[in-house]
Amino acid sequence: MRTYAEVLRGLWTRVKESITPEVKELAESFGYRPYMVARYVELLGGLGEVRELLEAFQSPPPPTVRCNLLRAPSCGLLVERLEGLGYSLERVPWSDRVFVVGGRGSVSLGATHEFLLGWYYLHRGPGATIPPLLLGAGPSDRVLDAAAAPGGKASFLADLMRNEGVLVAVEVSRARVGVLRSNLERLGVRNAVVERMRAEAVPSVFGRFFPRVLLDAPCTGEGLIGIDPLRKVRTSYEDLIRSHERQVRLLVAALNSASPGGAVLYTVCSIAPEEGEAVVAEALRWVPGARVVRAPRLPGVDPAPGVTEWFGVEFGDWARHCWRLYPHTHGTEGFFICLLEAPQ
């Protein structure tokens, strides 16, 4: 049986054939590689909605602060302090700790006294705060963050765990480990063990030790174009497939690190099915007994379902349980999120 990477490489001809004159014109008008826009048409079903997506990517998502109750006396006091600096804060529906920030304050959000004291973490957009909530970690848990730098999700997990239990934060890059440790220290995280290692090696070191695993996998960032417009042209189709292959290895390792029946949340800041549903489909082949489960609902979040078919390749009905977030419909970064249960 061919791997999904081989299948995806074989789809290149079909992708190229879908670059119609209308697709090419739309890609040129917004500065994208044509193959990307052709895939968006396949994903969303029409040029009209694709134009809405591309227009939404013209602007960055709103800056977002997450109140960190490991340091902040209260979220109300944090809001009061930041509003005193000239900012406006609006709480998101899914968490009383997360606020979208507007206005132009007298001090940069990354340089306030409250930031330096660890009262909040500054996210690039509100969508990044959703995965830790879906994982459902609590004070008595053993949790793995398999690609933890720079620490936004790891520190949120520690906050939700009330600095209890055990959080193992893994990062392979020496430079990014330094950033991760700095952020965790600033935010008052005391229940985390930071390990500089390849996430693929975690099962051989820890075994099936973790009832909850978060994998926010490195990706092409095809959901962050509003933050980094160079992503419109940076990634070739072959780059995308190589990213898929790395993500499969990481997700297989994450599933093999989870306790029997444990929860594994896979997420990427990408809207590419090659990095979403296709990764999950391949990992399910490698880890018999693993399955996709329905994620819990969050207030005010109405995600699009995952895609069950991609250029004629069938994934399965399980993909409907995965989440897709888009800037033009959800006001967040582009995200793919999927909750899996490790084999018993």
Can the peptide bond before residue 131 be classed as cis, meaning omega within 30 degrees of 0? no
**Boundary residue ending a domain (84, 107, 123):** 123
Q: What percent of the chain lies above the pLDDT cut of 90?
A: 99
Average pLDDT score over residue span 118-147: 97
| Residue of 67, 75, 269, 338 marked active site | 269
Q: Say if residue 1's pLDDT is above 90.
A: no
Q: What is the pLDDT of residue 334?
A: 98
**Boundary residue ending a domain (56, 75, 93):** 56
pLDDT in tens, 289-308: 999 999 999 999 999 999 99
Q: Which H or E run contains 336?
A: strand 335-341
Residues 6 or more apart whose CB falls under 8 angstroms from that of 242 comprise none
Average pLDDT score over residue span 108-122: 98
User: Are 44 and 158 found together in one domain?
Assistant: no
- Computed over every residue of the chain, the mean pLDDT equals 97
Q: What is the pLDDT of residue 172?
A: 96
User: Are 208 and 310 found together in one domain?
Assistant: yes
**CB-CB contact of 198 with 147 (8 Å):** no
Structural domain boundaries enclosing 152: 126-341
- The CATH number given to whatever domain includes residue 206 is 3.40.50.150
User: Are 184 and 261 found together in one domain?
Assistant: yes
Separation CA 120–CA 4 (nearest Å): 40
Q: What is the pLDDT of residue 150?
A: 98
Known active-site residue 75: no
Q: What percent of the chain lies above the pLDDT cut of 70?
A: 100
pLDDT in tens, 156-177: 999 999 999 999 999 999 999 9
Residue 140 C-beta-side C-alpha neighbours within 13 Å? 0
User: Are 87 and 153 found together in one domain?
Assistant: no
Q: Are strands 166-171 and 309-310 parallel, antiparallel or unpaired?
A: unpaired
In this prediction, residue 206 has a pLDDT band, given cuts at 50, 70 and 90, of very high
User: Are 138 and 202 found together in one domain?
Assistant: yes
Average pLDDT score over residue span 244-255: 98
User: Are 27 and 77 found together in one domain?
Assistant: no
pLDDT in tens, 40-89: 999 999 999 999 999 999 999 999 999 999 999 999 999 999 999 999 99
Average pLDDT score over residue span 261-273: 98
Residues 6 or more apart whose CB falls under 8 angstroms from that of 168 comprise 142, 143, 144, 145, 192, 193, 195, 206, 210
Average pLDDT score over residue span 234-241: 97
User: Are 46 and 81 found together in one domain?
Assistant: no
